[in-house]
Structure 1
């Protein structure tokens, strides 16, 4: 699809929308209208590991629903996280990096955020990476909602829950019933297809299966090239992949499985005097998991158990020329296999108390990084084996009608990294109608991983100590009537022994003390006509012990999301404004920018959705440098995307 043709199509759709707005809405349209009440008491389960109202949760929690995903044309996890307060996303074409509350360190592969799928830990065990790009297990159409609980979460979740926990909740058969298919294409030469099927039997069992695939060809280079070189590298720039997600449930037993494969082609520049100017690099991701969980209520007690097996396989194939000028490939191969066990028991047996205790175990069966020329003996071989154990207890105590306390404590121990204890405390006051005041304190840690060991080992540098954070936060949430609410929070974090990559020498070491101060302001307004506005401003300042701001740490983030019905919920126009202030990355100063994205969602029938999206409407030219080396990378320009979804069956 050519950009100019797509823009003309977009204008035609807007004209159709304007005419459609003049048509009276049917009863069916009215039944599908967006609720006009603000979502103050949305249910969440991440902050305490059990379902509760977000206003009573012992942390600030942000939620993006499947309705938001469809209305705003969110294509992937990066788009979802980018819309949340306090999070900012960068990318280098191969990996998607997420910074939280003003801290996104070079060389960090999302190891300081814990990512869950339906409550199951999915950070892999080589880099502790949260894999959020096209290699992620879950297609966005299979997501019911995403919960983000910012702040230290190690008192419940242990390692990696340093800046917060992101929980991706997938759809069940209530939303994935029958057969559903989707196809999409955009002006960046990306094509996607997805099919899902779900069934719930009269005997009580239910199952879902989702399959998806994508392909992108002739990807524009993220840096300026001569015209002849730009044409030469396009055939070497491609991305393709596929994934599977399955679930089966009967009674209290749930089985899940997921697999993803992604292969990314990148041009490798051999130099101006080389006989072959460009060769082919490849990055290959293969990931899978299988899990079983069982939950049962026994009177006043609730029992939960889960076991999972996971595998992460990454290959980086780097082309180079030997001294005799023959092409060769250098392989960097990372393989991880690990098992998780999660046992929990909860009870409301004691009046006004909800007590939960749990035990977690992770066995890293395989951790290895192998490097060397393809087909030859490896130059380096790094391997590890680790066992982690965590024991925690938490009590949620309703002291009175207006006072609620949450107290928690967790002890973690590991073969590598030693042991640590992390507490949490939250006091919630609800003495004002439709309002809550929260005072929260918690701590968290992150151990060094095999990737950081691999960087230090060749020069006999010691393995860094575990990094630690302590955070004190005060949050106020207030609904002024049924249609408007606002929230405000301030936090102060003290970080010590942050594991950082030195820029002058490729080694990881512990930094000095770091101070992180921030505030988040937000509001939500809904109108009786179905319009909805969400706005947030995040202010943050992260400095080291000399008072110098850290790299990749913007001082301000601004998010505006607005949706406008044009003909009930059958035709709706939505837009986003995503702004980020200037920051530095190594020696580079990266200017701030603001992006405008907009989506027109048309539902001509109950079983059909057509979405036309325009990303970076102003064609803003902005750059990023997520690993602080090399030249800044140009980010995507204006992109037009057309998507069609069709439901078959009941």
Structure 2
């Protein structure tokens, strides 16, 4: 065993010991946290009955008590989202049990229950805001980093539904649902301005405004603009006679985002626009290293008009029409001054209708239908001067789905959830996705759940048709992938304001779509792989005390097995998390997170495990001076890396060391 391998093994053992010690500590104290489980109420003030009445939407697409959900749901509310200083969705999601993120300094990728494949682009997780689907139609990606169209300041509640959910959502809902309940005007009733400054010469300004109107109306508007020069980054792979390995001044990032909604009576209109530009310091796709000119642009927009009302029968109906657009533009510079442009353009529109209500005292039904027309799915690649076309393809498609759900309380202590969805993609045969969940609640303190789920994902246009003639070729013969999942879970309430839970699951993935290197021509292509099995156990706990002390934590073990042998890449065996918040005095509060994981397999090696500590010191409003917070991210200046995809020469990418952010917010 060489010295590097021995060092990694030692670090891994130390991290495992620390994670296990934390887990034992949680078990012995019966604690955990969720400063997040309430909209307007502090968890420290919630009784057990209040906790049981908390309602979530993401699991079934209608509001229901958390204890009745047919899947494991983690809820992060407004208080935690603000107090913990999360800078984007990815940072908030990384505190969810069994979830982790990785970054290549261009995008943030979400791993769920051991699965975070290279080239995935978050296409196996569905992002929803106020019921509106936010994955684009070409890459099917859920953007969660700074590139996301959503700002943390606009979110009232984040719900993460673990496990397959195609039975009610259709494609992309393979591993989870990110359901964001956005702020309404009545939650603001005024205007708030925030100004941030931090490491990497970063600066940000945000405005949140809203008002409840007479007659039942409501309006909300959120705006944010961000800029950063980034840091100089070192890459050992480029430290040669031609370069010293430093990419200097090539890490800049800028974005502008706006989100608004207007509610008049039963009608609601929402709109969203976001654009993000990012320089690429790591020279992906074979671009020249250390020179400016290689950068990417992401631009997305969505508009939706919806109507909700109650019929004379007492059933609720929802109808919406929507239209979305997405643009990706990559400008790549190659040796010899060659300037290449890569473009992806998507336009789509659709409608959905849902009807839900009770049938008798024991049944709650939901019926629904959805249709989406992807009118433009265009991909281009060309050298700019002289113009030389490499790729020019457009592959419109459409999807149509119908679904039914029955929530049946056939005994006072027993609840059965049956969901079934039929989807038809224009290019593939129809597929049926079922979900069966049985919930047993012997008393108000204990909930037991067993669930069987089936989900699918058709290959997207990028996986089927993209070919740049250099690194990647197309594969139009791809088949949809699908997953069969079984989960057993228990949740127990501890005292007035605590709970603990355990979940055991097994996922079998068939025809998994993944990048494969063709040894004949040295090019990558997406292909259907044999079965993959992922199984694991998640333990989590949370508690809050009077006086504002809040603690939650989780420990997740996950293992994978490929049909041809070996395990999944970028899949840590252990994840440990601690999230805490505590008052220092009547005005100041200290919050933070410790996030740890064991080593992961990269393309050619393993990256070491690590533990990162983030802390935030925040104040209550000062009279006339607003609120202040100081966040220190990676407090101990830990050096760690994430595995890189096939787009990079590097086997792994160094992540940010210690960073600081100062925020000032004032209500006008």
TM-score by length of 2: 0.87
Question: Aligned partners of 1:445, 1:382: CA distance in 2, in Å?
Answer: 25
Question: Aligned partners of 2:129, 2:78: CA distance in 1, in Å?
Answer: 15
2:441 corresponds to which of 430, 433, 455: 430
Q: Structure 1 99/503 Cα, relative in aligned 2: closer, same or farther at 3 Å?
A: farther
Question: Does residue 224 of structure 2 align to residue 212 of structure 1?
Answer: yes
Residue 417 of structure 1 deviates from its aligned partner by: 2.6
Question: Aligned partners of 2:614, 2:419: CA distance in 1, in Å?
Answer: 41
Can you give the 5+ residue segments of structure 1 that lack an aligned partner in the other structure?
A: 1-30
Cross-structure match for 2:617: 600
SS in 1 for 2:411: coil
Aligned 8 A contact 1:396 1:405 in 2: yes
Cross-structure match for 2:179: 167
Output aligned runs, 1:236-385, within 5 Å. Answer: 236-267=250-281, 278-299=291-312, 300-322=314-336, 327-374=337-384, 376-385=387-396
Q: Structure 1 526/303 Cα, relative in aligned 2: closer, same or farther at 3 Å?
A: same
Residue 269 of structure 1 deviates from its aligned partner by: 6.3
Aligned 8 A contact 1:176 1:197 in 2: yes
Question: Aligned partners of 2:526, 2:466: CA distance in 1, in Å?
Answer: 7
**More deviation, 33-42/385-394:** 33-42
Residue 383 of structure 1 deviates from its aligned partner by: 1.4
Question: Does residue 624 of structure 2 align to residue 613 of structure 1?
Answer: no
**More deviation, 453-462/35-44:** 453-462
Can you give the 5+ residue segments of structure 2 that lack an aligned partner in the other structure?
A: 1-40
Aligned 8 A contact 1:268 1:281 in 2: no
Question: Aligned partners of 1:206, 1:434: CA distance in 2, in Å?
Answer: 38
Question: Aligned partners of 2:215, 2:661: CA distance in 1, in Å?
Answer: 42
Aligned residues: 609
Task: Give the alignment's Cα RMSD to 1 decimal.
Answer: 2.2
Residue 462 of structure 1 deviates from its aligned partner by: 4.4
Residue 526 of structure 1 deviates from its aligned partner by: 1.8
Question: Does residue 218 of structure 2 align to residue 198 of structure 1?
Answer: no
1:484 corresponds to which of 498, 511, 515: 498
Question: Aligned partners of 2:478, 2:221: CA distance in 1, in Å?
Answer: 42
Question: Does residue 594 of structure 2 align to residue 577 of structure 1?
Answer: yes
Aligned 8 A contact 2:232 2:249 in 1: no
Output aligned runs, 1:455-534, within 5 Å. Answer: 455=466, 461-504=475-518, 505-534=523-552
Q: Structure 1 232/61 Cα, relative in aligned 2: closer, same or farther at 3 Å?
A: closer
Question: Does residue 618 of structure 2 align to residue 586 of structure 1?
Answer: no
1:178 corresponds to which of 165, 172, 190: 190
Cross-structure match for 1:87: 99
Residue 32 of structure 1 deviates from its aligned partner by: 7.5
Deviations 1:95-138 (A, max 9, x none): 11101100111111000001111111111111111122223222
SS in 2 for 1:594: strand
Question: Aligned partners of 1:32, 1:491: CA distance in 2, in Å?
Answer: 32
Aligned 8 A contact 2:474 2:525 in 1: no
Q: Structure 1 399/330 Cα, relative in aligned 2: closer, same or farther at 3 Å?
A: same
Question: Aligned partners of 2:600, 2:169: CA distance in 1, in Å?
Answer: 31
1:441 corresponds to which of 452, 468, 485: 452
Question: Does residue 404 of structure 2 align to residue 393 of structure 1?
Answer: yes
SS in 1 for 2:295: strand
Cross-structure match for 1:3: none
Question: Does residue 656 of structure 2 align to residue 636 of structure 1?
Answer: yes
Aligned 8 A contact 1:40 1:479 in 2: no
Question: Aligned partners of 2:96, 2:203: CA distance in 1, in Å?
Answer: 26
Aligned 8 A contact 1:83 1:578 in 2: yes
Residue 455 of structure 1 deviates from its aligned partner by: 4.1
Aligned 8 A contact 2:574 2:597 in 1: yes
Aligned 8 A contact 1:260 1:288 in 2: yes
TM-score by length of 1: 0.90
Deviations 1:258-289 (A, max 9, x none): 0001111235869xxx9x96232110111111
Residue 520 of structure 1 deviates from its aligned partner by: 0.6
**More deviation, 360-369/579-588:** 579-588
2:428 corresponds to which of 417, 422, 434: 417
Deviations 1:241-264 (A, max 9, x none): 101101100111110000001111
Aligned 8 A contact 1:268 1:278 in 2: no
Aligned 8 A contact 2:235 2:245 in 1: no
Aligned 8 A contact 1:268 1:319 in 2: no
Deviations 1:2-50 (A, max 9, x none): xxxxxxxxxxxxxxxxxxxxxxxxxxxxx98942546454210011110
SS in 1 for 2:442: coil
Cross-structure match for 1:647: 667
Residue 344 of structure 1 deviates from its aligned partner by: 0.5
SS in 2 for 1:506: strand
Cross-structure match for 2:142: 130
Question: Aligned partners of 1:552, 1:32: CA distance in 2, in Å?
Answer: 37
Deviations 1:280-306 (A, max 9, x none): 211011111110111001132111011
Q: Structure 1 33/436 Cα, relative in aligned 2: closer, same or farther at 3 Å?
A: closer
Question: Aligned partners of 2:281, 2:147: CA distance in 1, in Å?
Answer: 20
SS in 1 for 2:269: strand
Question: Aligned partners of 1:602, 1:36: CA distance in 2, in Å?
Answer: 22
Question: Aligned partners of 1:329, 1:109: CA distance in 2, in Å?
Answer: 25
Question: Aligned partners of 2:149, 2:323: CA distance in 1, in Å?
Answer: 14
Residue 466 of structure 1 deviates from its aligned partner by: 0.5
Residue 235 of structure 1 deviates from its aligned partner by: 3.0
Question: Aligned partners of 2:275, 2:649: CA distance in 1, in Å?
Answer: 28
Cross-structure match for 2:88: 76
Question: Aligned partners of 2:475, 2:239: CA distance in 1, in Å?
Answer: 42
Q: Structure 1 92/382 Cα, relative in aligned 2: closer, same or farther at 3 Å?
A: same
Cross-structure match for 1:26: none
**More deviation, 352-361/541-550:** 541-550
Deviations 1:576-627 (A, max 9, x none): 1100111101112111000011111111437722111111011000011241
Question: Aligned partners of 1:303, 1:279: CA distance in 2, in Å?
Answer: 53
2:463 corresponds to which of 444, 452, 455: 452
Q: Structure 1 40/336 Cα, relative in aligned 2: closer, same or farther at 3 Å?
A: same
Aligned 8 A contact 2:248 2:290 in 1: no
Deviations 1:616-641 (A, max 9, x none): 01100001124154212110000111
Deviations 1:194-247 (A, max 9, x none): 012112222322111111100001432252577997898433331111011011
Question: Aligned partners of 2:282, 2:413: CA distance in 1, in Å?
Answer: 62
Q: Structure 1 203/331 Cα, relative in aligned 2: closer, same or farther at 3 Å?
A: same
